[in-house]
Chain A
């Protein structure tokens, strides 16, 4: 007779698929970012956009102005882009940097999870916040104006579609920026500053160079010009810029995707080294 030590074999337990596993991270990450900073930034965006749209649409109907232009008014302004930039910095800066910096990323990546799953979850959480801030208030404002009888339902639906188009494009772009810059550092503060610094410095410097050279192609690198161009087209308004709105949208979406790829490349090479 021989005696041997028992050897445990893990029993078969039905496991859910990758999307459900990713959803667990999305839920946690989304809730994690629900702190005063992002909530205040999102609330402020909602307040400004809804108020501006409702008031301008009201006056447009009273004095007989363009309702589409009234719906478009917040999206052509610097303030809206700036507010979304604040949401991006407060929500997205720490999305990867916090996990890398604390090495808590180990707890996720030592599990049956691909880096693309992890990154997709983080992107979804950041993107969800940006969609709430960027798309939500425009749609609500359109619904409110329709409910108040300022516009017809079809006009409100068209305006909501315009809000979705502009908001989604900017959400993709900002999500890409947040992931890329957050993956490059272990401190969310640095990533937040980098998000602001990169967007503002590129926008300002391109604007200055365009003013000097008059080269319209440069405007595709100007975030404000791109957003305004897309917004004017989405709401059927003439654009003050010589750029093609479709090309502007493609530039922003592609840039967002390339930056997300950069974050993936960075994560796939990252090694979690201790103190």
Chain B
């Protein structure tokens, strides 16, 4: 494996609890989303990459270096932890400047870079306020500022949009895309799947401490074609529509969750979508709305996670 980050059967235990359980994945160039529910092992992987945890087994490298232990290569890495803990007695500017100085920048260079990074995350006006008065969203943004201020090659963002307001989310997402298109390698984790979907097509899906799928989102989407796909329909006469759809081989089940609604499980969503208009026209059926309940990463994850059990 020759990715920016390579993980080979990495295992990390917290006593009896498995944080990672033989996790194997390769993270390449550009933005890669690490997607999984809470407790899946995302933050454990990030802490391993940040050198804060030692793998119990397996091999984990970033930029070609083992993840555990100190090293000068760490100045090529930016890490934004999930924890909201900061140095609360400092101002936002002091915080970023101090960490830049620890990275090895001179006092003046650190101050200059700090001002730039704080501006990138729209915190210039609040840069001289103490961190203890920052809101959760502002804390997230200042964490991102310290993470990108030294122009790292590899950026590790653990749940970076957590707690950020919608406007802030949009601007931080745009910042991540900018960094990604400038050639930075970014690994961004989230349990809110649509956030990752908007940032990148490259994802690694994690559940129960294992990588359950990785690669292009659309390819992963193809993997689930064999699973029943949920489609919700609204109709003036759902019973008649249900009778007609029940004749199709690929329809697994039909439910009526509430009046005027129909939920169909099909093994072939493409065939379903192709044939539905003709059926509606020829049979004179009423269809007011068609909605795929599975047309997002959440469903992909659910299918894949369930498929491995």
Residue positions of A touching B, CB distance < 8 A: 5-11, 13-17, 20-21, 24-25, 28, 31-32, 102-104, 106-115, 271-274
From the candidates A8, A13, A103, A109, name the one contacting B153 in the complex (CB within 8 A): A8
C-alpha gap A24/B98 in the complex (Å)? 6
Instruction: Please tell me if the beta carbons of A10 and B151 are within 8 angstroms of each other in the complex.
Output: yes
Among B57-93, those with CB < 8 Å from A are: 70-77, 79, 81-83, 85-87, 89-90
Instruction: Please tell me if the beta carbons of B89 and A32 are within 8 angstroms of each other in the complex.
Output: yes
A26 to chain B, nearest CB (A): 11
C-alpha gap A15/B83 in the complex (Å)? 28
- Return the chain A residue nearest B52 by Cβ: A272
B273 to chain A, nearest CB (A): 32
C-alpha gap A13/B109 in the complex (Å)? 10
Q: Which residues of B sit under 8 angstroms from A24, Cβ to Cβ? A: 98, 101-102
Q: Which residues of B sit under 8 angstroms from A10, Cβ to Cβ? A: 75-76, 151-153
- Return the chain B residue nearest A28 by Cβ: B98
C-alpha gap A25/B100 in the complex (Å)? 11
Instruction: Please tell me if the beta carbons of A112 and B83 are within 8 angstroms of each other in the complex.
Output: no
Instruction: Please tell me if the beta carbons of A112 and B103 are within 8 angstroms of each other in the complex.
Output: yes
Q: Which of B43-51, B264-272, B281-289, B299-307 contacts A (4 or more CB under 8 A)?
A: B43-51
B222 to chain A, nearest CB (A): 23
- Return the chain A residue nearest B143 by Cβ: A107
- Return the chain A residue nearest B109 by Cβ: A13
Residue positions of B touching A, CB distance < 8 A: 14, 29-30, 43, 47, 50-54, 70-77, 79, 81-83, 85-87, 89-90, 94, 98-99, 101-106, 109, 146, 151-153, 181-185
Q: Which residues of A sit under 8 angstroms from B182, Cβ to Cβ? A: 6, 8
- Return the chain A residue nearest B182 by Cβ: A8
Instruction: Please tell me if the beta carbons of A111 and B74 are within 8 angstroms of each other in the complex.
Output: yes
B49 to chain A, nearest CB (A): 9
C-alpha gap A17/B98 in the complex (Å)? 15
Q: Which residues of A sit under 8 angstroms from B146, Cβ to Cβ? A: 107
Instruction: Please tell me if the beta carbons of B81 and A112 are within 8 angstroms of each other in the complex.
Output: no
B181 to chain A, nearest CB (A): 8
Interface centre among A14, A107, A112, A272 (most CB of B within 10 A): A107
Q: Which residues of A sit under 8 angstroms from B94, Cβ to Cβ? A: 28
Q: Which residues of A sit under 8 angstroms from B51, Cβ to Cβ? A: 109-110
Q: Which residues of B sit under 8 angstroms from A11, Cβ to Cβ? A: 151
Instruction: Please tell me if the beta carbons of B47 and A274 are within 8 angstroms of each other in the complex.
Output: yes
16 contacts between A and B (CB under 8 A): A5-B183, A8-B183, A15-B75, A16-B106, A24-B101, A103-B81, A107-B81, A108-B99, A109-B52, A110-B79, A110-B81, A113-B102, A271-B47, A271-B54, A272-B52, A273-B53
Given A110-B50, A273-B14, the answer on whether A6 and B83 have CB atoms closer than 8 Å is no
C-alpha gap A5/B87 in the complex (Å)? 37
- Return the chain A residue nearest B97 by Cβ: A24
- Return the chain A residue nearest B48 by Cβ: A271
Q: Which residues of B sit under 8 angstroms from A13, Cβ to Cβ? A: 105, 109
Instruction: Please tell me if the beta carbons of B99 and A103 are within 8 angstroms of each other in the complex.
Output: no
Interface centre among B70, B73, B74, B79 (most CB of A within 10 A): B70
B242 to chain A, nearest CB (A): 47
Q: Which residues of A sit under 8 angstroms from B54, Cβ to Cβ? A: 271
A193 to chain B, nearest CB (A): 22
C-alpha gap A25/B74 in the complex (Å)? 17
Instruction: Please tell me if the beta carbons of B30 and A104 are within 8 angstroms of each other in the complex.
Output: no
Q: A11-B151, A110-B79 are in contact. List 14 more A-B contacts (CB 8 A).
A: A8-B183, A10-B75, A10-B153, A14-B106, A15-B104, A103-B83, A106-B79, A106-B81, A106-B83, A107-B146, A108-B99, A110-B51, A110-B74, A111-B103
Instruction: Please tell me if the beta carbons of B101 and A20 are within 8 angstroms of each other in the complex.
Output: yes
B58 to chain A, nearest CB (A): 16
- Return the chain A residue nearest B12 by Cβ: A271
C-alpha gap A14/B82 in the complex (Å)? 30
B209 to chain A, nearest CB (A): 15
Closest 8 CB pairs of A and B: A15-B104, A8-B183, A24-B101, A6-B183, A102-B85, A110-B50, A272-B52, A110-B79
A30 to chain B, nearest CB (A): 12
Given A10-B152, A112-B71, A112-B75, the answer on whether A16 and B104 have CB atoms closer than 8 Å is yes
Instruction: Please tell me if the beta carbons of A112 and B74 are within 8 angstroms of each other in the complex.
Output: yes
B257 to chain A, nearest CB (A): 37
Given A106-B52, A111-B74, the answer on whether A274 and B104 have CB atoms closer than 8 Å is no
Given A9-B153, A112-B103, the answer on whether A107 and B29 have CB atoms closer than 8 Å is no
- Return the chain B residue nearest A14 by Cβ: B106
C-alpha gap A31/B89 in the complex (Å)? 9
From the candidates B30, B82, B101, B103, name the one contacting A5 in the complex (CB within 8 A): B30
